[in-house]
Structure 1
Amino acid sequence: MDLFIKLSQFLLSLSLLIILHELGHFIPAKLFKTRVEKFYLFFDVKYSLIKKKIGETEYGIGWLPLGGYVKISGMIDESMDKEQMALPPQPWEFRSKPAYQRLIIMLGGVTVNFVLAFIIYIGMAFAYGDTYVASADFKDGMLIENPAMIKAGFKTGDKILAADGKPILKFDNDITMKIIMAKKVLIERNGIKQEINMPIDLVDQLSKYEKSSLIATRTPFVIGAIDDKSPNTNLKPKDLITSLNGQNTRYFDQAKVILESNKGKTIPATVLRNQKTENITLQVSKEGTVGVNRGGLSIESLEKLGYYKVSTTEYSFLEAIPFGITRGKDQLIGYGKQLKMIFSPSTGAYKQVGGFKAIFDIFPETWSWETFWRITAILSIMLGVMNLLPIPALDGGHVMFLLYEIISGKKPSDKFLENAQMVGFVLLITLLLFANGNDIYKAIVGR
């Protein structure tokens, strides 16, 4: 069932993005009286799952879920319809239209992708508001356990103040990317501010420890299930350990250090049980454990105990518009920086390029509309930016040649465009194989 929910979100998001992207080409083509022969969700190699012709356009769903397309008459695209291109140009064909109209048609898809992302961010701000924990509330700093972050110079207890000079005021979904993309991060440690120069290959280093969070919130040591063989039968589920061996343990990371330094010993402890403090003794194993699984507390309970205060800023529809636009702009700029890292070999970021499995893995196994729309917005930006790359066979390649035509007044020959399309197609297949090959490699080596 979990896999079905994950797959449903993946296919719904992908289908929505493809259909709207292709509509971005379809609508201006129709407005400029250009014939659209096919409109397909997914590719119909050899056969279609569903197809129906309405007017001059065949609408359908293909069996290969690697994208979608609109086939526009008189346009050199992935169909490589040389027979049609060999005939004299017709008034309804793409090649017969003025360059500015062809440019609008080609930019329509990515325009829809960007507009969609901004609309989603505006809608999310209006529907869900902005939920976060203010950085100022982390009085004891963050939990740093990722070996790559420790190697970079971070320690548990550090307060993250700024990334590349921009203050980090909130702990939210964007904080990880802000740190990864930064060249310098300002922290406060033991009351002293200092800057950490981020390693240029941080992304590559982090990939070795994918199961370890970049940074995390420090949480208390709450008892979950108790092992049947545990000698500490005086512990109960939901107990919160507040001290060990006479030392305060506000956070689990503090308790872990004390247990590891008292292996095989019996030590005094204090627990908070049913809002009352009780003194007990604990037998620490040779491995530095007490025979329990960690439990958790709700956000409400953590707030009552004075750990964190979760804030939610609500927006009216008019207030949501500038907030959503700013969020979309930040995500767009952030993805641009990610691409720059990918094309810089020294960062090692290219090793983390993923294919369809990587996208599939982003979606959770439980249904959440908020999470679904957040991921869909990010994917829409990614799709728009990737399609703008000046690679023949992508929208950006067509735009590049059209801009050349508009500026120079010279139209590239059909033969040149056909050859460029073929080169671009080979390049795209290579990139697709590389990205999905990375997925397979990671699955094999287990990271």
Structure 2
Amino acid sequence: MSPIIIKTIQFFLSLSILIVLHELGHFIPAKYFKTRVEKFYLFFDVKFSLFKKKIGETEYGIGWLPLGGYVKISGMIDESMDKEAMAEEPKEWEFRSKPAWQRLIIMLGGVTVNFVLAVIIFIGLAYAYGEQYIANDSLKDGVWITDTTLGNALGIETGDKVIAVDGKKIKALNNIMPEVVYGEKITLERNGNTIEKDIPVDFIETISDNRENARFIKPRLPWIISQVPEESQNVSVGFEVGDILTTIAGTNVIYQDQVFPILEANKGTTVDVVVKRNGANVPLQAKVSEDGKLGLMIGLTTMDAEEQGYLKINTTDYTFIESIPAGWNKGVKTLTDYIKGMKKIFNPDTGAYKEVGGFAAIGGMFPDTWNWPQFWATTAFISIILAFMNILPIPALDGGHVMFLLYEMVTGRKPSDKFLEYAQITGFFILIALLLFANGNDVYKLIFK
């Protein structure tokens, strides 16, 4: 099956789960407080719906426009803009007739469910799969910077050890980039000396311009042959799978990053090499192509790298009880990191606004192949995003309604229905503008990047 189709299926499945549960977060407290819910819809039913069925006082349905979902609560200024109903005298079962604290709970229900859902997913992942990562402090000779443009921008070199970001020690190798993106200062160890560097304010923009090389911080690994292709210029030289390159052109090497510049300097020539095979040193002569390659496949798994002492993989298994705080901490950290990212987006100097994406960007977060752990981890992350975005104090979002309710509870004065109508319209246009900007970014990246 095509990777695009797999991503699309995962995207719509995840989106459907999140929308239904978000709307249930409004629906359940509304029903508990005896507030009438007229509609409960997955996706929007503009002009018509794909499916609908009325049960009791509520019509349940699936719309055709997959931009979200909604519950229509009686007596509430919402996207339906039902002015006729609002012009009538308030009924006891309407939203506007309920005490402010009850209305606040109803409005906070959606984002609460989104955050709780993310935490539950993280708990489940911790319990089912535990946690596994390459220990950053196990890289005895530092990291490999595979892209010099990004490395120079950050001020990091091959062989540096990344100690901390903003004073927080980095435990896992794969945590370096997320912390760098959100951070302000990076602490490195270089040649035995500890140095601290400011992370450029526009580093996110630099990454955006070099997207294909964004994962430029990698562990330093040896040059181990994994395959000798039939079409290689060195197929008959004597190389074997498992050979470890230790000397090339008279220079001793340990890591892959030390080999590349030597090959570059010896393009189109034949060089003396020494490989280690079953503990013995084997001298060979190899041809370097005009583009500076040996024509060999190299690489080893992280498990093999651990066995050979190049890195250490830390594994933590959680009992169900232990997985609860682990899942909670993961949820809080994910939300905190996302808020840090949003702060950078609102600072034009960072260039982070270029990374704002719409539906294509969200769909691209899912893996190319069906992988349940990755699917649920991505769903949890999107759930955090939905929780944060919906609580923003923008009219037409849950956060806008919460803002007006808090104003009412503090001042004792309720905003007029006319004011709420205008606020809803204003919020609607703000959301449309954000939607166009985010998806416009997707289109721009697709065409020009």
TM range (shorter): over 0.9
Distance 1:278 1:51 in 2: 74
Distance 2:249 2:90 in 1: 87
Provide the secondary structure at the position in 1 that maps to 2:364: helix
The reply to whether residue 211 of structure 1 matches residue 215 of structure 2 is: no
> Which moved further from structure 2: 280-289 or 26-35?
280-289
Counterpart residue identity of residue 402, structure 1: L
Q: Do 1:227 and 1:291's aligned partners in 2 also have CA atoms closer than 8 Å?
A: no
The reply to whether residue 299 of structure 1 matches residue 309 of structure 2 is: no
Give 1:308 shift. 1.8
Counterpart of 2:32 in structure 1 is 31
Distance 1:280 1:47 in 2: 73
Give 1:438 shift. 0.3
The reply to whether residue 393 of structure 1 matches residue 396 of structure 2 is: yes
Counterpart of 2:96 in structure 1 is 95
Give 1:3 shift. 2.4
Counterpart of 2:368 in structure 1 is 365
Counterpart of 1:189 in structure 2 is 190
Counterpart of 2:385 in structure 1 is 382
Counterpart of 1:330 in structure 2 is 333
Distance 1:401 1:68 in 2: 22
Give 1:305 shift. 1.8
Give 1:45 shift. 1.3
Distance 2:146 2:338 in 1: 26
Counterpart of 1:7 in structure 2 is 8
Counterpart of 2:247 in structure 1 is 243
- Residue-by-residue CA offset, 1:170-225 (whole Å, 9 max, x unaligned): 223x3321111111000111111101111001111110100101422223323335
Counterpart of 2:319 in structure 1 is 316
Unpaired stretches in structure 1, ≥5 consecutive residues? none
Distance 2:432 2:411 in 1: 31
Q: Do 1:34 and 1:94's aligned partners in 2 also have CA atoms closer than 8 Å?
A: yes
Provide the secondary structure at the position in 1 that maps to 2:328: helix
Q: TM-score, normalised by structure 1?
A: 0.96
Aligned 1:226-241 pairs, distance under 5 A: 226=229, 228=231, 230-234=233-237, 235-241=239-245
Provide the secondary structure at the position in 2 that maps to 1:226: coil
Aligned 1:407-426 pairs, distance under 5 A: 407-426=410-429
Counterpart of 1:109 in structure 2 is 110
Distance 2:216 2:292 in 1: 25
Q: TM-score, normalised by structure 2?
A: 0.95
Distance 1:157 1:45 in 2: 58
Distance 2:4 2:354 in 1: 27
Provide the secondary structure at the position in 1 that maps to 2:77: coil
Change beyond 3 A, Cα 1:94–1:254: same
Change beyond 3 A, Cα 1:413–1:225: farther
Change beyond 3 A, Cα 1:26–1:144: same
Give the total of aligned pairs: 444
Counterpart residue identity of residue 159, structure 1: K
Q: Do 1:232 and 1:282's aligned partners in 2 also have CA atoms closer than 8 Å?
A: no
- Residue-by-residue CA offset, 1:384-411 (whole Å, 9 max, x unaligned): 0110110000000000000000000000
- Residue-by-residue CA offset, 1:50-78 (whole Å, 9 max, x unaligned): 21111111111111111111111111111
Give 1:99 shift. 0.7
2:285 to 256, 281, 284: 281
- C-alpha RMSD over aligned residues: 1.6
Identical amino acids, percent of aligned pairs: 56
- Residue-by-residue CA offset, 1:222-271 (whole Å, 9 max, x unaligned): 33352626255323455432331233332221111111122222111123
Counterpart residue identity of residue 218, structure 1: R
Counterpart residue identity of residue 134, structure 2: V
Give 1:328 shift. 1.4
Q: Do 2:153 and 2:203's aligned partners in 1 also have CA atoms closer than 8 Å?
A: no
Counterpart of 2:18 in structure 1 is 17
Provide the secondary structure at the position in 2 that maps to 1:74: coil
Distance 1:426 1:286 in 2: 58
The reply to whether residue 340 of structure 1 matches residue 360 of structure 2 is: no
Q: Do 2:166 and 2:186's aligned partners in 1 also have CA atoms closer than 8 Å?
A: yes
> Which moved further from structure 2: 225-234 or 97-106?
225-234
Distance 2:258 2:11 in 1: 40
Distance 1:118 1:291 in 2: 47
Give 1:273 shift. 4.6
Give 1:275 shift. 6.5
Distance 1:232 1:195 in 2: 47
Counterpart residue identity of residue 331, structure 1: T
Give 1:300 shift. 2.5
- Residue-by-residue CA offset, 1:63-118 (whole Å, 9 max, x unaligned): 11111111111111111111111111111111111111100000000001111111
Change beyond 3 A, Cα 1:276–1:362: farther
Change beyond 3 A, Cα 1:252–1:227: farther
Counterpart residue identity of residue 240, structure 1: I
